[in-house]
Structure 1
Amino acid sequence: MRTPSLSSLYLVFTAVSHLLSICLLASAEESPWLGGDLRAQESHRVVNLPGQPPSPAPISQYSGFITVDGESGRALFYWFFVAQTLPSRRPLLLWLNGGPGCSSVGYGAAVELGPLRVKRDGNGLEFNRYAWNQEANLLFLESPVGVGFSYTNTSSDLNKLNDELVAEDAYEFLVNWYERFPQYKSHDFYISGESYAGHYVPQLAELIYDRNEDSSGKFPRINLRGFIVGNPETEDYYDSKGLLEFAWSHTVISDELFRLASRVCDFRHYRWPSECSVAMDRVFRQYREIDIYNIYAPKCTLTPSSPSAAAAVVEDMVASRTTRMGAGGYDPCFSAYAEEYFNRAEVRRSLHADAIAGDNRRWKVCSDSILRNYNYTVLSVTHIYLKLIAAGMRIWVYSGDADGRVPVIGTRYWVESLGLPLRAQWRPWYHRGQVGGRFAEYEGLTVATVRGAGHLVPLNKPRESLVVINSYLSGLQLPIRR
């Protein structure tokens, strides 16, 4: 008997899925409320995504815009993947990338942890065997407005972006998204992200927590259980101190430059004196020939005859306020591939991202204008951690230990500053008989490293990152036996 091919099975699955959707919609006509929900969901279902390969697991996906401010015309773009197995029992996990100004579609979904990754030529997609929707219903959000496909009809909105507005818009997005997908309202909800999402994630978590606690009944309850962040920016002082010490301890800079920067820089002040800016400019220039986001990775050059995009990022670093330079997690090669793919007209149509009134923007992985014009009003999220730890939230922080941009050194300094009781000392965790990294457990907080990973942990170490998210969502300790 001839065994059907994987592609044949995939086509059968797709046909059955569409037939089931039609049947559900037809039966729902008797219930206007249910029928309305299903029609709204189906209008955002993604079918025939260009270059999507047959996959060993079903991929049910939705994408589109959710309005967060009708008066100004602000709408955020999302891409949602139903869990590969037992979706009715899996939690809902929101992923945010940082920057500020970088796309969670271009990085998180299409490069790191989504089930469909952009191929290296930008002409199609490939299935990710280590996608996080094995563990959760996975929601990617392009935030803030102006990032990726997310847009506003009021241009002045783009000059007002700060952490508070980003959190408010993300909250409004969730409330309105749940109205379109009400079957997930009862699911446990977690927030995740990396880099400057080290601000976005806890601030959104705090806003949800506060509104859940509001007794006026004005706000719907969101079933928030906690958050997990990777290589997160947490407090300027420790992040900057760690960046300098990492560069010296990994021989990126000389002893002389380290002593100079240490002497003239007081990182406790947001605005550095000119002597410090000059010294830190010299530090960042040492990263021109290596990748600051993974110091052991090969440098990516797009064409042999032109300077790489990585060098351009370092130029941005030294040309602007030095602690904020460089979009979080920038990878020149994968950025180019993602931009090639998501600017294809047929891709935009398939993702329901082709009907932005008056918007002729080219989709970018990271927005330079947002990075340069963002209003940095919050220098530390320490108080939020302490508040939500006391509230019993499940909170994890993990770091790729080869990241020079938000190094684990600074994160360890910051964790120690929290003054939490230590439950278990640093020790190895294992995957496939090898050390996957190390972790320590504090009262209310787990801190882990992923060995050999850079800023984009799920890209550099996909197997290990899946172990981390599985342990986190399951409420389990990282594996301590080989």
Structure 2
Amino acid sequence: MNLMMISLKLLLFMNLSIIIITTCKANPNQQGEHLSKFIHSKRSHNNNNNNPSSSSLEAFLSHLPQLHVVDDDDDQESKLKEDDKVEGLPGQPEGVDFDQYAGYITLDANKGKALFYYFVESPQNSSTNPLLLWLNGGICFIQFNMAVANVIFLESPAGVGFSYSNTSSDYAEIGDSITALDSYTFLVKWLERFPHYKTRDFFITGESYAGHYVPQLAHTILSYNNIAASIHQTVINLKGIAVGNGWIDDNLCTKGMYDYYWSHALSSDESHSGIEKYCDYVSGNFSYECIKYMNMADVEVGDIDIYNIYAPPCDSSSSSKSPGNDFDPCSDHYTMSYLNLPEVQKALHAKATNWSSCSLVGWTDSPASILPTINRLISSNISIWIYSGDTDGRVPITSSRYSINALKLPVQTPWRSWYSANQVGGYVVGYKGLTLVTVRGAGHTVPSYQPQRALTMISYFLNGELPPKN
């Protein structure tokens, strides 16, 4: 793939305004593999005493009045904004009609801790379109053909991508709570640099381990909004969140994964029966026999792309495109090559570094379940969507349904199909305080595999409406 095509794909992605919080970027296989290892690690350590009610995130939130992000000098921030403007990316095609910005927001000058961002304003209606924050395990090439929001990429936590800290201990003390805090601090400081977005409708969405990131950051924002006005700090106008193929609850998502294997003919009756007999998903106590049958099922799945079970692998000897859509499973290779070009890093105002799709960082806290946090968000009356590509085997639709069913919410809009480009785009059911949406033919990172359907879905989400009936 030539330089112009790589740049074009990157710019097409920017037609939707996003902030991405990521520990692993580029291809869903890359971020999915790290999620898979993380899941197995939590299972092997029987990490079920990590109750979210006593997590470090909750401890942080209990001390919110002590947190104060000092407003930066307006003139200095205005100059930094102009310095961050991207005049053009190498290989950028002609006719790009939106403004781009890239650079660093310093979180802690004493530690030398700074997060890298890339921001793109909508080609049309940038002054009225909302700001959409996308917290994700991976950067996807999303080829949306119209702008529906203004875009920010954020590489977080420090140590990921171009983001960094000069204090080495920051890399060993990373977890859910510090990621939520750093992301919130970034947002407040970023809004000082772009103050005309302070009152804009704000949404958060993301996929994969963003099943943790999205609700936790939303809870942090809403909690801090309660006191922000009294200390003359920005109140973030959060309107809604959407989580795609999100890891929400360790036990229920694990059950959903193995049930999906069996129901989609990826594993045998023998392994399924053994899992059903020996695995206790209520207590999360996985015995030796349980893990034996889980491992059997993992082997039975074979060498397929578990993040889109019907997609081909990245193989130069065969077609690299997935049937029925334009997703290229080799896109991570193109991304890594492009972002490591010195001229690209210079254009993005990034520090010269060896950019990699995933970074190895220590992870210190990860609650076993985010359902209590989601319950609190439901009571706040913001819009909450859980969406799921139905060909993902790693965090499948069954995992999403089991997690939602555990909330025991009454149904307000019965299950029905929804349409995009005159085809069934998926299915939707509305609960009291939460909406479940499936996306037909999409894998682990929905917009990568089904960009048109993802655009339809996200457009209706931002408008506060269910996807169309026809």
Which TM bucket (shorter chain)? 0.7 to 0.9
CA distance in 1 between counterparts of 2:126 and 2:397 reads 34
Question: For each residue in 1:209-268, what CA deviation from the matched residue of structure 2 results, as whole angstroms up to 9, or x when unmatched?
Answer: 000012742642111111111111111111100000000000111111111222232244
CA distance in 2 between counterparts of 1:270 and 1:40 reads 49
- Could you tell me which amino acid in structure 1 is paired with residue 107 of structure 2? V
- Could you tell me which amino acid in structure 2 is paired with residue 334 of structure 1? S
Question: For each residue in 1:272-299, what CA deviation from the matched residue of structure 2 results, as whole angstroms up to 9, or x when unmatched?
Answer: 4343333323322334421110001112
What displacement does 1:42 show?
1.2
- Could you tell me which amino acid in structure 2 is paired with residue 182 of structure 1? P
3-state SS of 1:409 partner: helix
CA distance in 2 between counterparts of 1:331 and 1:407 reads 21
- Could you tell me which amino acid in structure 2 is paired with residue 88 of structure 1? S
CA distance in 1 between counterparts of 2:448 and 2:263 reads 25
CA distance in 2 between counterparts of 1:277 and 1:69 reads 43
User: Which residue of 390, 393, 406 maps to 1:401?
Assistant: 390
Equivalent residue number for residue 402 of structure 2: 413
Equivalent residue number for residue 276 of structure 2: 262
TM-score (norm 2): 0.79
Equivalent residue number for residue 71 of structure 1: 110
CA distance in 1 between counterparts of 2:462 and 2:132 reads 9
User: Which residue of 405, 412, 416 maps to 1:427?
Assistant: 416
**CA pair 152-279 structure 1, distance change in 2 beyond 3 A:** farther
Residue pair 1:159, 1:374 contacting (<8 A) in 2 also: yes
* 1:46 and 2:46 matched: no
- Could you tell me which amino acid in structure 2 is paired with residue 365 of structure 1? S
3-state SS of 2:154 partner: strand
- Could you tell me which amino acid in structure 2 is paired with residue 350 of structure 1? A
* 1:165 and 2:178 matched: yes
Residue pair 1:235, 1:381 contacting (<8 A) in 2 also: yes
What displacement does 1:36 show?
4.2
**Higher relative contact order (CA closer than 8 Å, sequence separation 6+):** 2
Residue pair 1:401, 1:454 contacting (<8 A) in 2 also: yes
- The runs of 5 or more residues in structure 1 that have no matched partner are 1-32, 113-127, 309-329
Q: Number of residue pairs matched?
A: 391
Residue pair 1:96, 1:140 contacting (<8 A) in 2 also: no
Equivalent residue number for residue 378 of structure 2: 389
CA distance in 2 between counterparts of 1:281 and 1:218 reads 54
**CA pair 156-303 structure 1, distance change in 2 beyond 3 A:** farther
User: Which residue of 182, 190, 207 maps to 2:195?
Assistant: 182
CA distance in 1 between counterparts of 2:297 and 2:161 reads 31
- Could you tell me which amino acid in structure 1 is paired with residue 124 of structure 2? T
User: Which residue of 356, 359, 365 maps to 2:357?
Assistant: 365
Correspondence 1:219-298 to 2 at 5 A: 219-269=233-283, 272-298=286-312
Question: For each residue in 1:342-375, what CA deviation from the matched residue of structure 2 results, as whole angstroms up to 9, or x when unmatched?
Answer: 01111111111125xxxx5x211222x23xx323
**CA pair 157-272 structure 1, distance change in 2 beyond 3 A:** farther
- Could you tell me which amino acid in structure 2 is paired with residue 211 of structure 1? Y
Residue pair 1:46, 1:350 contacting (<8 A) in 2 also: yes
**CA pair 183-233 structure 1, distance change in 2 beyond 3 A:** same
Residue pair 1:97, 1:194 contacting (<8 A) in 2 also: yes
Residue pair 1:398, 1:449 contacting (<8 A) in 2 also: yes
3-state SS of 1:286 partner: helix
What displacement does 1:402 show?
0.5
- Could you tell me which amino acid in structure 2 is paired with residue 260 of structure 1? G
Correspondence 1:9-24 to 2 at 5 A: none
Residue pair 1:135, 1:470 contacting (<8 A) in 2 also: yes
Residue pair 1:96, 1:143 contacting (<8 A) in 2 also: no
Equivalent residue number for residue 336 of structure 1: 333
Residue pair 2:419, 2:426 contacting (<8 A) in 1 also: yes
**CA pair 267-160 structure 1, distance change in 2 beyond 3 A:** farther
What displacement does 1:142 show?
1.0
Equivalent residue number for residue 164 of structure 2: 151
Equivalent residue number for residue 19 of structure 1: none
TM-score (norm 1): 0.77
Residue pair 2:268, 2:297 contacting (<8 A) in 1 also: no
- Could you tell me which amino acid in structure 2 is paired with residue 130 of structure 1? N
CA distance in 2 between counterparts of 1:193 and 1:442 reads 20
* 1:88 and 2:80 matched: no
CA distance in 2 between counterparts of 1:301 and 1:276 reads 34
**CA pair 348-288 structure 1, distance change in 2 beyond 3 A:** farther
3-state SS of 1:448 partner: strand
- The runs of 5 or more residues in structure 2 that have no matched partner are 1-72, 321-326
**CA pair 151-37 structure 1, distance change in 2 beyond 3 A:** closer
Residue pair 2:384, 2:433 contacting (<8 A) in 1 also: yes
Residue pair 2:418, 2:467 contacting (<8 A) in 1 also: yes
CA distance in 2 between counterparts of 1:477 and 1:382 reads 23
Percent sequence identity over aligned pairs: 44
3-state SS of 1:67 partner: strand
Residue pair 2:279, 2:285 contacting (<8 A) in 1 also: no
Considering only aligned residues, what root-mean-square deviation do their CA atoms show, in Å? 2.3
- Could you tell me which amino acid in structure 2 is paired with residue 90 of structure 1? N
- Could you tell me which amino acid in structure 1 is paired with residue 357 of structure 2? V
CA distance in 2 between counterparts of 1:175 and 1:197 reads 20
CA distance in 2 between counterparts of 1:37 and 1:156 reads 29
**CA pair 271-53 structure 1, distance change in 2 beyond 3 A:** farther
CA distance in 2 between counterparts of 1:147 and 1:244 reads 31
- Could you tell me which amino acid in structure 1 is paired with residue 269 of structure 2? D
- Could you tell me which amino acid in structure 1 is paired with residue 396 of structure 2? P
Residue pair 2:74, 2:192 contacting (<8 A) in 1 also: no
Equivalent residue number for residue 446 of structure 1: 435
Residue pair 1:345, 1:354 contacting (<8 A) in 2 also: no
CA distance in 1 between counterparts of 2:88 and 2:382 reads 39
CA distance in 2 between counterparts of 1:297 and 1:65 reads 37
- Could you tell me which amino acid in structure 1 is paired with residue 413 of structure 2? A
Equivalent residue number for residue 455 of structure 1: 444
- Could you tell me which amino acid in structure 2 is paired with residue 366 of structure 1? C
**CA pair 387-40 structure 1, distance change in 2 beyond 3 A:** same
